[in-house]
């Protein structure tokens, strides 16, 4: 069966939540589309569809037929930049033409009473209405053809009504229909000022959107254009970074950005990785150290070997994760989508009811129409559409700058509700670099021979305990042998042949299953002091195993682990340790980091970690799982919020909703705090977006708001929502 594909399309011309619904419906109607999600703040659509060569073209055509403009990413960036910085010209023209129309109203409180001639009002208002306001007519017409409504339609109808009413009143005055001979009050200023205010609001929105997406642009700018390629004879030549290949040797000069993920071959320096990890202090790097593309080299010259380029690089993956999160819809957005689907039709009905109601009250066509126009103008589905996505964009952006990558909006929305945090032990709470503290022979045998056999079994494994055994053997200069027929049993150990003899390294659990007796007193002594203990077994001709030695491994808590656990407990959270280690060793480590013994889950096989998480979720608890290894992936996926350490495996990162870019466990509490702040901003934005309409529409319907004030309030609603979300950028870690 062919896999589904995910496609991203930039969409131009969207102005409000109603536009989002229209584009989504158009995309979902394309054959083969499984899901479509449109983000107003990023002006993009993400579509999951079946395979096919024409899918992208069909999606773009559907967007165009719906009345919007499908764009390439580069086009969208250029349009956003122009909209944010160069798009002020129409606003400036609108202000210049509207201010004279507004002057009589502004000067009236100071006793200055005058009125511009009707012909001059017409001359000033007409360019604003039909030149600057043409975008509202075009978008409104497309909405009507699609039998839908949007903000543009409301603005076009409202301002056209005000402009048309002014023409009618002017004609009546010219025809001499005013019995008192007084020149009538015209409403050209209402139509012109409303369009100008809406354009001003859209310009301010565009600027705010660029600020909200600054994290993505900052990450993209970390990619240098050129790399210094070192030839076979040591000569350097500049080549474009996009032409680099794995295995290339590069020179990284002082002050240069590292062009690609690489390993240091020569030289020593300090490297600034703060933009990637949030770590403020430079990190010392020497031969064998790994470098991440985008980091800044310090004072030393380095020669490096390229390990990953392009989409495989860490920087590319970080950018992809942040983009995914900003393109995703938070679950709370579903409420907004339901409201937006009926918003414009309801507003049109209210405006019509306002017109009819005032006519029945006997106030005359002029007053009734003005009140109906105010209803059309103040309604703002734009603020509803921006309320959630702009907060998500700002929250994920500030998180990325602080070393927290949020993979999806659901994790961001849910994290603040976590009441239980489960930690993996090795590599998460501990440094993950255990050392072989002791090898204790159980029979009269040479410990060098036993260590050599153990290291030969472990030489092909990347497990931290395996590396500790190999490191100890190499430190003693032992020669390792090949170990054919290796068999790894997760959570139990490994077995194979060394020099034709069957051997195994087994956990106490596996020894018990095999019926192998271990010295109880010695085992308990080692475990009580916090050591992880394995046994070296040898099998006889009958396949019966006998214990030859005990291997005792010690690991240290990760720096700051105890403080991180204390910070979580101070937030009222329950902290649990889930470990495959024996209970005594696990409890000893738990005591060192401040986790109560009753919250230790020990002797847990990798396959059973997800079941432990499920048990913690019982009773409605919201559980976060923090882990780093491949065997943690099922538990990370089973948790309400999975949090992976970036120094762990790719599998763990893919299964988690949040990734911590450095090993600082304090980032766990920071992620929860950012989640709480972001969700608070979403709720505040939705409150104000609804409040503007719930309060403003009745006020306009009852004649308490003029169209000009309604236009200002409508523009202010969108701008205030954007500004409130951008306050998230002031978030700082609690020291």
List of residues 6+ apart from 273 with CB closer than 8 A: 279, 282, 283, 292, 295
Distance, in Å, from the CA atom of 337 to the CA atom of 39, rounded to the nearest integer, reads 11
Q: How confident is the model at residue 84 (pLDDT cuts 50, 70, 90)?
A: very low
Edge-to-edge strands, sheet with 283-285: 283-285, 269-272, 296-297
- CA distances in angstroms from 270 to 287, 297, 299, 703, listed in the order given: 12, 6, 7, 68
Which range (17-26, 335-344, 655-664) has the least confidence? Answer: 335-344
Using the structure block, give the residue that is written with the tokens 């992809």: 320
Q: What is the pLDDT of residues 615-661, one digit of tens each?
A: 999 878 999 999 876 567 788 888 899 888 876 545 555 667 888 88
649: its two tokens? 């495996």
Distance, in Å, from the CA atom of 363 to the CA atom of 459, rounded to the nearest integer, reads 93
Averaged pLDDT for residues 125-149: 83
- Chain centroid to CA 365: how far? 52
Edge-to-edge strands, sheet with 600-601: 404-406, 658-660, 641-645, 623-627, 420-424, 574-578, 600-601
Averaged pLDDT for residues 253-279: 82
Which range (247-256, 260-269, 702-711) has the least confidence? Answer: 702-711
- What number of CA atoms fall less than 13 Å from residue 179's CA on the CB side? 0
Q: What is the pLDDT of residues 519-542, one digit of tens each?
A: 888 888 888 888 888 899 988 877
Distance, in Å, from the CA atom of 428 to the CA atom of 532, rounded to the nearest integer, reads 16
Which range (204-208, 431-435, 624-628, 720-724) has the least confidence? Answer: 204-208
Q: What is the pLDDT of residues 295-321, one digit of tens each?
A: 888 888 899 999 888 777 777 777 776
Which range (67-71, 105-109, 508-512) has the least confidence? Answer: 105-109
Q: Is the predicted pLDDT of residue 1 greater than 50, yes or no?
A: no
Q: What average pLDDT does the structure give for the chain?
A: 82
For 25-94, give the DSSP string. Answer: HHHHTSTTEEEEEEETTTTEEEEEE---TTHHHHHHHHHHHTT-EEE-HHHHHHHHHIIIIITHHHHHHH
Strand partners, 420: 574, 623
Angle at 548 between CA 544 and CA 554, to 5 degrees: 125
Which range (176-190, 387-401, 408-422, 482-496) has the least confidence? Answer: 176-190
Q: Is the predicted pLDDT of residue 323 greater than 60, yes or no?
A: yes
Q: How confident is the model at residue 108 (pLDDT cuts 50, 70, 90)?
A: low
Q: How confident is the model at residue 580 (pLDDT cuts 50, 70, 90)?
A: confident
- CA distances in angstroms from 470 to 458, 463, 630, listed in the order given: 7, 11, 21
Q: Looking at residue 602, what DSSP letter applies?
A: -
- What number of CA atoms fall less than 13 Å from residue 531's CA on the CB side? 20
Distance, in Å, from the CA atom of 228 to the CA atom of 236, rounded to the nearest integer, reads 6
Q: How confident is the model at residue 345 (pLDDT cuts 50, 70, 90)?
A: confident
Distance, in Å, from the CA atom of 342 to the CA atom of 398, rounded to the nearest integer, reads 34
Which range (130-134, 184-188, 693-697) has the least confidence? Answer: 184-188
Strand partners, 227: 239
Q: Which residues form the catalytic set?
A: 424
For 167-188, give the DSSP string. Answer: HHHHHHHHTT--TT-PPPPP-H
For 298-346, give the DSSP string. Answer: -SS-EEEEEEE-GGGSHHHHHHHHHHHHHHSPPTTHHHHHHHHHHHHHH
Q: What is the pLDDT of residue 278?
A: 57
Q: What is the pLDDT of residues 198-233, one digit of tens each?
A: 787 677 666 666 665 665 666 667 778 888 998 887
């Amino acid at each position: 069966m062919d896999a589904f594909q995910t496609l991203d399309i930039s969409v131009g011309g969207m102005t409000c939540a109603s536009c989002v619904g229209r584009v989504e419906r158009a995309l979902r109607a394309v054959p083969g589309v499984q899901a479509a999600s449109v983000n107003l703040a990023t002006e993009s659509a993400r579509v999951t569809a079946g395979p096919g060569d024409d899918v992208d073209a069909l999606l773009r055509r559907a967007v165009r037929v719906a009345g919007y403009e499908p764009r390439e990413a580069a086009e969208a960036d250029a349009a956003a930049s122009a909209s944010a910085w160069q798009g002020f010209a129409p606003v400036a023209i609108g202000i210049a033409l509207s201010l004279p129309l507004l002057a009589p109203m502004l000067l009236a409180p100071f006793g200055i009473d005058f009125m511009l001639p009707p012909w001059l009002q017409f001359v000033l208002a007409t360019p604003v209405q039909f030149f600057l306001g043409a975008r509202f007519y075009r978008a409104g017409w497309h909405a009507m053809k699609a039998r839908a409504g949007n903000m543009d339609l409301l603005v076009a109808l409202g301002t056209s009504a005000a402009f048309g009413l002014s023409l009618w009143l002017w004609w009546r005055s010219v025809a001499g229909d005013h019995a008192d001979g007084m020149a009538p009050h015209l409403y050209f200023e209402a139509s012109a000022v409303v369009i100008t205010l809406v354009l001003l609001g859209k310009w301010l929105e565009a600027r705010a959107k660029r600020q909200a997406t600054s994290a993505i642009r900052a990450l993209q700018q970390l990619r240098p254009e050129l790399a210094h390629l070192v030839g076979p004879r040591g000569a350097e030549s500049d080549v474009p970074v996009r032409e680099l290949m794995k295995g290339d040797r590069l020179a990284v000069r002082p002050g240069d950005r590292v062009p690609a993920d690489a390993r240091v071959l020569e030289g020593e320096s300090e490297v600034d990785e703060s933009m990637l990890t949030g770590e403020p202090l430079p990190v010392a790097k020497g031969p064998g150290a790994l470098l991440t593309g985008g980091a800044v080299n310090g004072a030393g010259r380095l020669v490096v070997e390229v390990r990953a380029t392009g989409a495989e690089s860490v920087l590319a993956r970080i950018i992809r994760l942040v983009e995914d999160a900003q393109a995703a819809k938070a679950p709370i957005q579903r409420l907004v989508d339901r409201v937006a689907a009926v918003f414009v039709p309801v507003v049109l009905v209210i405006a019509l009811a306002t017109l009819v109601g005032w006519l029945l009250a006997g106030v005359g066509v002029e007053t009734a129409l003005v009140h109906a126009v105010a209803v059309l103008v103040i309604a703002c589905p734009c603020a509803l559409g921006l309320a959630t996505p702009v907060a998500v964009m700002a929250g994920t952006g500030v998180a990325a700058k602080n070393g927290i990558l949020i993979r999806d909006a659901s994790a961001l929305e849910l994290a603040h509700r976590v009441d239980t945090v489960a930690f993996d032990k090795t590599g998460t709470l501990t440094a993950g670099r255990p050392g072989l503290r002791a090898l204790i022979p159980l029979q009269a045998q040479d410990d060098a021979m036993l260590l050599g056999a153990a290291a030969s079994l472990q030489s092909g494994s990347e497990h931290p305990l395996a590396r500790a055994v190999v490191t100890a053997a190499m430190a003693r200069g032992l020669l390792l042998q090949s170990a054919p027929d290796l068999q790894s049993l997760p959570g139990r150990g490994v077995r194979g042949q060394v020099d034709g003899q069957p051997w195994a390294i087994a956990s106490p659990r596996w020894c018990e299953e095999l019926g192998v007796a271990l010295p109880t007193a010695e085992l308990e002594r080692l475990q009580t002091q916090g050591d992880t203990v394995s046994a070296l077994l040898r099998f006889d001709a009958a396949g019966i195993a006998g214990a030859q030695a005990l291997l005792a491994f010690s690991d240290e808590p990760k720096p700051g682990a105890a403080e991180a656990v204390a910070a979580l407990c101070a937030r009222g959270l329950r902290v649990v340790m889930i470990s495959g280690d024996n209970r005594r060793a696990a409890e000893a480590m738990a005591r060192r980091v401040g986790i109560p013994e009753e919250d230790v889950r020990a002797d847990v096989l990798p396959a059973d970690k997800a079941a432990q998480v499920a048990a913690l979720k019982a009773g409605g608890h919201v559980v976060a799982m923090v882990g780093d290894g491949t065997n943690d992936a099922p538990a990370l996926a089973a948790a309400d919020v999975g949090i992976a350490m970036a120094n762990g495996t790719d599998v763990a990162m893919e299964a988690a909703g949040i990734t911590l870019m450095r090993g600082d466990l304090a980032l766990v509490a920071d992620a929860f705090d950012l989640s709480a702040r972001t969700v608070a901003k979403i709720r505040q934005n939705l409150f104000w977006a609804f409040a503007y309409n719930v309060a403003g529409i009745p006020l306009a319907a009852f004649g308490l708001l003029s169209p000009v004030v309604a236009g200002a309030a409508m523009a202010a609603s969108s701008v205030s929502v954007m500004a409130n979300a951008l306050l998230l950028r002031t978030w700082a870690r609690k020291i």
